[in-house]
Structure 1
Amino acid sequence: MEPKYAQNNIFSPAISLQEQLHMDVFTKNAAVYDPVVCRNAQEAILALETLYTDSVQDLRNAVGSPSTLQDLKLQFKGTYPYLGIWGSGAEHICEALRSWAILREDGYYGTTVTHPDLFKEYWGQQLSHLFSVHELCCVVGRSSRFIPIYFLKEDVLSHAKDISEIKGMLTMPSPKDMDDQVANGTVAWDQLMIKPLSYFSAERTDYSLTRIQHYCGTHASSFQNFILLTNYQRYIDLFFYYAKQRLSEEDSSYTHWVEPKDTELLAQDMELSKTREAGHHFQMPAYHLARADRNGISLVNIGVGPSNAKNMTDHLAVLRPHCWIMLGHCAGLRQSQRLGDYVLAHGYMRDDHVLDEGLSPNIPLPPVEAVQKALRDSIQEVCQLDDATMTRRVRCGTIVSTGDRNWELDVVNRSKTFRQCRAIALDMESGIVAANGFRFRVPYGTLLCVSDRPLHGELKLHSMAQTFYEQRVKEHLTIGIHALEVLRELGPDQLHTPELRGFQDVLFR
């Protein structure tokens, strides 16, 4: 019997012998059930949407009637959709202007997928480029991976008659299905019959989507493609006032504001905001100045420390944002620096050791040229500095990131590291933000502001800190926002550069 999701006249009724052979490869090597060939991106997305919706409905029905659970598994329903690609045309790679959605190697690629409501536009962008350039066979079917009930618990378990009867019969998340081997580059690529199509499996994506909601207090669908990270409530307060102003403009490209507890506010409702109170309920509250095309700005208060920075960027990476930038404070290490000066990282000395297993600290983290230029130009424009003043107020060089907030108490032992790497500043989060950007192929940047100079006797004591906050925070945030708005105009082709991609890499951005 023809699969339900193929019973639509947009699907081509006949397939060639070559296409049948490709389908057989996915059936045999990836355990894909009821496969269909899709002739374009729209067909593929429709099939994926239908499959996912049917799987969720199958699970909903099953928990309402526990006796059907075994039948569900026997029929391989309630599973993630599978998207497979066979492509030929790697010899034309030099003709592509992009660093993504191109074939570096002819062959088979595949992945499980989830949440078409969230990733529909992303899938469409990737597939449309692939179909336009390469000889392609696109296969969609049911995977053998059951959707863990944990990821659908609010939607599905409400239909259960008695959860105690069925809990042991339902699929639960497994860490071995959510590792980051593909992104880490530790997969035995050449030995794979079917290579990964994307960096994240459906299980890994679903896991991060639930974590985003938990930590940030807003649904992942509210996140915009351009993200600022900070660790001070002051930046949140100022971001709210900026959003309020922009939403009130008649020709504004921004549409609404979203704050924790998934509260959406239009321009006329901004007085009802509970920005500060809502953030108290979540560990890393997120706030979004949204646009219809999702190219607005999200700001996340990640708190202090490299572990928090890794935690948040681990999860945000599944959303495939166009850029994230850390707005942080740092200790200026050079005698010539003054409080309020800005620092741009041309290199990172990762002395926090949080990500050493996933990405060796011996691996250099290059600056992303487009991001660096946008930040530098934004400093000059927002602060209205001439070239000579820019040279004095903005330093570019190596930033040391540490996991020890009281590093000043061990400065004798650290001085050798500072001297050898010619460091200009020290902070706690920048190294991880850059490392995870590099690791997950997300364009990254750091804009730090010198808030103290412990090596030169200027400690961040209370009165000095308050003065610094009053003088610099608004300017600092304005520069970060301006830089993201400049980067938005560049578009993904210029942002997602080949320097972030491996010579053996997935097809999707």
Structure 2
Amino acid sequence: MESEISFNKFSCVTKCAQEQLHVEVFVKNAGLHDPVVCRSAQETIQTLEALYLASVQDLRNAVGSPSGLKELKLQFKGTYPYLGIWGKGAEHVCEVFRSWAILREDGYYGTTVTHPDLFKEYWEQQLLHLFSIRELCCVVGRSSRFIPIYFLKEDVLSHAKDISQIKGMLTMPSPKDMDDQVANGTVLWDHLAIKPLSYFPAERTDYSVTRIHHYCGTSASSFQNFILLTNYQRYVDLFFHYAKQRLSESDGVYTHWIEPKDTILSSKDMDLSRTREAGHHFQMPAYHLVSPDRNGISLVNIGVGPSNAKNMTDHLAVLRPHCWIMLGHCAGLRQSQRLGDYVLAHGYMRDDHVLDEGLSPNIPLPPVETIQKALLNSIQEICQLDDETMMSRVRCGTIVSTGDRNWELDVLNRSKTFRQCRAIALDMESGIIAANGFRFRVPYGTLLCVSDRPLHGELKLQSMAQTFYEQRVKEHLTIGIHALEALRRLGPDRLHTPELRGFQDVLFR
């Protein structure tokens, strides 16, 4: 018995010594302050929450005077919390059921974090998986990165007596700390003492959280894990009517509706909606059919063009949604297509050049199988089509995405590209939405509806367009919603497949 007790003491001492060694690595290489070793996911999250709230309160207290800010910086308070993990890699990694929270090799990983209110569920999901590993050391502390005060709520600055006196002492957002090199896969990790734990550090996340509210008119916390992207107000109107109907039902799947200006409406308040006015106030208004577990549906009217599509998905990616799907219109390029037919993208020819620096157009964008299946099944079920009719109504193939809305005026030069890539349709947004999904490891899909056939003389003129909208838009949106609800039932482990992960990737999803 004595030898067993002695052995347990030795094991405990050895473990403490190892933890101290890991802590020293984070202090030395990450500039960590006041480190704490956490031994569970819950303890880690609680510590991160406490540190973040303390930093915000310290900033709030200090902005009243220049001396307060100076003292804050000397003490390294008002900084982002830091999360560091050391883990022992598994000898064999099974990727069948999960592609994230897997340690493939021994090493140190770390990142700054922000907004515990927004990411608590996400952190818990990642950490619970990581703590299930046989050997793990989790260290939390204050980083050396001060929170730019402009990322905090406006009431923080309202505490300042004289903004002009303290402006030079405020930490400003730095573009170099918001770079997407980790997500782009351009960072070589082998030489790093501490590898990235997540795709986005705190400053990049804060930037996107503020941009989302600016463009969409709703806070980032309103967004659900399943996102539809469109560029027509008609889809918004129909989504509102769908939400109104679902909220009147008593199944409890959805609880309320959120629209721009952070207006929250219950089922009995839906007639007070100002949905039609949102476009006058916000560039890319967002609407949310909320479920208790945040697995409801958000719809964003991103407007027209690849720049808008990149802008929105750049920011939505920090929220780590389970998927996004583009519902848009396209020009059918094949003689056999008819107006109202559906196009399911199996490949993308990126001819918009908006993201060429971040992700070369030479890199193929594979279809995400689970989303493809969900969309095909939804078309067949909603439209009640047999297999033979499906083959004539739905075309699968390559979509060309262009940045030129008037591409029809240069069709002679484009015809060679159409022929060589065997394109079946052309639009403006799908290529970027898929590219950013691939780049940021967010499962993506595209379902387009043929609204014109310029190569065959059917142009989208006013009378023809109106008839198309009346006949197809409701069906199109219903298919998209039906597909998202099917994907929700699959669960995140089935959605976040290894195909979107890199050879060398971060631990967090």
Give the shorter-chain TM-score range: over 0.9
User: Who is 2:466 aligned against?
Assistant: 466
Amino acid at match of 2:307: S
| Residues 246, 252 of structure 1: 8 Å contact kept | no
User: Who is 1:372 aligned against?
Assistant: 372
1:263 pairs with 2:256:
no
Distance 1:390 1:85 in 2: 50
User: Who is 1:89 aligned against?
Assistant: 89
Further displaced range: 15-24 or 28-37: 15-24
User: Who is 1:42 aligned against?
Assistant: 42
Distance 1:58 1:33 in 2: 16
The 1:292–1:30 alpha-carbon spacing in structure 2 relative to 1, beyond 3 Å, is: same
Further displaced range: 155-164 or 119-128: 155-164
The 1:244–1:13 alpha-carbon spacing in structure 2 relative to 1, beyond 3 Å, is: farther
Residue 91 (structure 1) shift? 1.2
Once the two structures are superposed, residues 238-263 of structure 1 have per-residue CA deviations (whole angstroms, 9 ceiling, x without a partner) of 00000000000011310000000000
Amino acid at match of 1:424: I
1:438 pairs with 2:444:
no
Amino acid at match of 1:155: D
| Residues 284, 303 of structure 2: 8 Å contact kept | yes
User: Who is 1:411 aligned against?
Assistant: 411
Residue 89 (structure 1) shift? 2.9
Instruction: Mark the runs of 5 or more structure 1 residues left unpaired by the alignment.
Output: 1-11
What does 1:284-299 align with in structure 2 at a 5 Å threshold?
Answer: 284-299=284-299
Amino acid at match of 1:285: P
Residue 279 (structure 1) shift? 3.2
Further displaced range: 278-287 or 481-490: 278-287
Amino acid at match of 2:361: P
What does 1:62-461 align with in structure 2 at a 5 Å threshold?
Answer: 62-94=62-94, 97-461=97-461
Residue 280 (structure 1) shift? 1.9
Aligned residue for 1:143, secondary structure, equals strand
Further displaced range: 125-134 or 318-327: 125-134
Residue 64 (structure 1) shift? 1.6
Further displaced range: 343-352 or 131-140: 131-140
Residue 66 (structure 1) shift? 2.4
Distance 1:330 1:186 in 2: 33
Amino acid at match of 1:306: P
Residue 96 (structure 1) shift? 6.9
Residue 150 (structure 1) shift? 1.1
User: Who is 2:8 aligned against?
Assistant: none
| Residues 342, 448 of structure 2: 8 Å contact kept | yes
| Residues 285, 300 of structure 1: 8 Å contact kept | yes
| Residues 216, 283 of structure 1: 8 Å contact kept | yes
Residue 162 (structure 1) shift? 1.0
The 1:163–1:63 alpha-carbon spacing in structure 2 relative to 1, beyond 3 Å, is: same
Aligned residue for 1:241, secondary structure, equals helix
Q: CA RMSD in A?
A: 1.3
Residue 203 (structure 1) shift? 0.2
Aligned residue for 1:480, secondary structure, equals helix
Amino acid at match of 2:48: L
Distance 2:278 2:95 in 1: 50
Distance 2:146 2:124 in 1: 24
Aligned residue for 1:353, secondary structure, equals coil
Once the two structures are superposed, residues 6-63 of structure 1 have per-residue CA deviations (whole angstroms, 9 ceiling, x without a partner) of xxxxxx9997000000000000000000001000000100100000000000000010
| Residues 260, 279 of structure 1: 8 Å contact kept | no
Distance 1:15 1:309 in 2: 49
User: Who is 1:5 aligned against?
Assistant: none
| Residues 443, 496 of structure 2: 8 Å contact kept | yes
Residue 70 (structure 1) shift? 1.0
Number of equivalent positions? 498
| Residues 449, 476 of structure 1: 8 Å contact kept | yes
Instruction: Mark the runs of 5 or more structure 2 residues left unpaired by the alignment.
Output: 1-11
| Residues 217, 261 of structure 2: 8 Å contact kept | yes
Further displaced range: 214-223 or 155-164: 155-164
Residue 160 (structure 1) shift? 0.9
TM-score normalised by structure 1 residue count: 0.97
The 1:65–1:108 alpha-carbon spacing in structure 2 relative to 1, beyond 3 Å, is: same
Once the two structures are superposed, residues 337-379 of structure 1 have per-residue CA deviations (whole angstroms, 9 ceiling, x without a partner) of 0000000011000000000000000000000000000000000
| Residues 231, 303 of structure 1: 8 Å contact kept | yes
Residue 105 (structure 1) shift? 1.9
User: Who is 1:4 aligned against?
Assistant: none
| Residues 26, 32 of structure 1: 8 Å contact kept | yes
Once the two structures are superposed, residues 251-294 of structure 1 have per-residue CA deviations (whole angstroms, 9 ceiling, x without a partner) of 13100000000000001111111111133200000000000100
Once the two structures are superposed, residues 441-482 of structure 1 have per-residue CA deviations (whole angstroms, 9 ceiling, x without a partner) of 000000000000000000000000000000000000000000
Residue 94 (structure 1) shift? 2.2
Further displaced range: 476-485 or 154-163: 154-163
| Residues 97, 494 of structure 2: 8 Å contact kept | no
Residue 190 (structure 1) shift? 0.9
Aligned residue for 2:255, secondary structure, equals strand
1:21 pairs with 2:21:
yes
Residue 404 (structure 1) shift? 0.2
